[in-house]
Amino acid sequence: MLNRFYIIIFVIVAMGACVFGQEDIFFAGTTRGAGVRSLSMGGAYVGIADDNSAIYWNPAGMGQIRRMELNVGFAHNKMGNEAVFLGNTSNSSHSFTRLNSIGFTYPVPTYQGSLVLGLAYNKVRDFDEIIEIEGFNTEYSPFVDFFSQSNPLNYYTDILDSLYQIESILHEGSLNHFSIAGAIELAPNFFAGATLNFIGGVDDRNLNFEEVDVQNIYNTEPTALDNGDTLISDLDSWNYSENLNSRLSAANIKLGALYQWGRTLRLGATVTPPTKYKIKEKWSDQWEEFYDFDFSQSIPPEPAEWEYEIQTPFIFEAGASFQFLNVLVSGSAEFNDWTQAKFKTDPPVEGITKGEVNSRIKSDLKATTNIRVGTEVYIPLVKARVRAGYNIVPSPYRYEKVNSDKETISAGLSFLAGRQVMVNIALANTAWKIQTRDYFTDAPALEKKNIISAIAGVTVRF
């Protein structure tokens, strides 16, 4: 079986990280949040939170809702990647359409104040990513390591480098929240709320790697040596494929507060205690070897399974919104101290303990503050609202030079389709750069990534 060290290296690289190590799993995929309106405003919603998406952003804001509300939304993601590897530039893209959210909120009749309950499903993070690279590698080939695993001990090869390498990695999946929430008006214009999230997700990663002797450098028939060994030096191509299916599960609670100062100013804040994720993974690989002198062999899949647990740090967020005439402006800041992230069990890497990994987390990572701003303008003539937003998620790595912040620019609009139905549309583009390196290529690939998300939803109030 393939050494488990190699397995985890691929897990790390494919989950959207650089070369640091096991801590990269904390930042897999791209976080979006929930709600069409909030996403079009850059996620600056902690100080607004006056619709069903408050269940995700700030449950206290649900206390502002005065009518029953049903929300349904869909998202279409198109991901792109421009990668430079061994002097070659490759462009790849892929797209997915999924249910983005569905939720219901119910204001309980009260003598005074408010009590609002809510249920929701929200797709809060996309694991979808793709990379395709190729180039002539004059310095390294992993073929010799795999050759030694699939051939008798008296066979060996002198093939070490100078092969054309082609690699593609495709991720599909998402992280989802199934949520129960409630909010209450504790004092005039002061609301408190809580959301209980049941978290589940799947990340399905497929890797394909190929090495080809395009210059026909290795064209010598197998040679029997005096000591009884056989030298193999006629490789034509070698194809390797690997699948890793990761299932994540957790539960957490988010607590929120919101104060409304007339119709002009709202202040909100939330705290999410550390969340412990259980990760179950199934892995398998297989490969084929083709030689010039009428010989080939296939190595069948070798499945493996393992489990481990990680814990994310406290999350604190505060925000405000200001309404002046027909213009709404909002902003928020989210603080994460990534040095407090940790593995709760040993990682699935032979010979490495959770203590070693957690020590590296403290030295390699840093605290970050995500900034979100947004605006909304109401146009009375057409009874529509137009929106725009921006958010930046700083890199959590303390030393890595090529691992840029993730920046998202968004826009959207909404309009009434009848007295009770609101249609919301949003468009968001997230872009960042990252340098990756894995065992197969042992050469850096500079990636420029972007994800374009088109999100549409319908809100019915009755």
CA angle 436-3-292, nearest 5°? 85
Per-residue pLDDT of the chain (462 residues; tens, 9 = 90+): 334 434 433 333 333 333 334 556 777 777 888 889 999 999 999 999 999 999 999 999 999 999 999 999 999 989 999 999 999 999 999 998 889 999 999 999 988 889 999 999 999 988 888 899 999 999 999 988 888 776 766 788 888 899 999 999 999 999 999 999 999 999 999 999 999 999 999 999 999 999 999 999 998 888 888 777 888 889 999 999 999 999 999 999 999 999 999 889 999 999 999 999 999 999 999 989 999 887 888 888 778 999 999 999 999 999 999 999 999 999 999 999 999 999 999 988 778 889 998 998 899 899 999 999 999 999 998 889 999 999 999 988 887 666 778 999 999 999 998 888 999 999 999 999 988 888 888 889 999 999 999 999 999 998
> Are 15 and 25 contacting, i.e. CB atoms less than 8 angstroms apart?
yes
Domain 4-461 has CATH 2.40.160.60: yes
pLDDT tens column, 214-271: 999 998 888 888 777 888 889 999 999 999 999 999 999 999 999 999 889 999 999 9
CA 96 remoteness from chain centre? 14
The pLDDT, as a whole number, for residue 300 is 82
Report the distance separating Cα 103 and Cα 118, nearest Å. Answer: 7
Do strands 235-261 and 265-272 pair parallel, antiparallel, or not at all (unpaired)? antiparallel
Report the distance separating Cα 429 and Cα 337, nearest Å. Answer: 26
Token pair of 305 as six digits = 């399974």
Do strands 230-233 and 155-157 pair parallel, antiparallel, or not at all (unpaired)? parallel
- Rounded to 5 degrees, φ, ψ at 213 are -85, 75
The pLDDT, as a whole number, for residue 348 is 82
Half-sphere exposure of 21 (CA within 13 A, CB side): 19
The pLDDT, as a whole number, for residue 23 is 53
Token pair of 73 as six digits = 């939304």
Report the distance separating Cα 79 and Cα 100, nearest Å. Answer: 16
The pLDDT, as a whole number, for residue 19 is 32
- Predicted TM-score (pTM) of the model is 0.89
> Are 214 and 136 contacting, i.e. CB atoms less than 8 angstroms apart?
yes
> Are 198 and 175 contacting, i.e. CB atoms less than 8 angstroms apart?
no
Helix boundaries (H) for 67-197: 143-150
Token pair of 166 as six digits = 């082609």
> Are 255 and 268 contacting, i.e. CB atoms less than 8 angstroms apart?
no
The pLDDT, as a whole number, for residue 401 is 65
Phi-psi region of 216 (alpha: psi -120 to 50; beta: other; left: phi over 0): left
Report the distance separating Cα 184 and Cα 59, nearest Å. Answer: 10
Strands, E assignment, 147-294: 155-157, 163-187, 190-212, 220-224, 230-233, 235-261, 265-272, 276-291
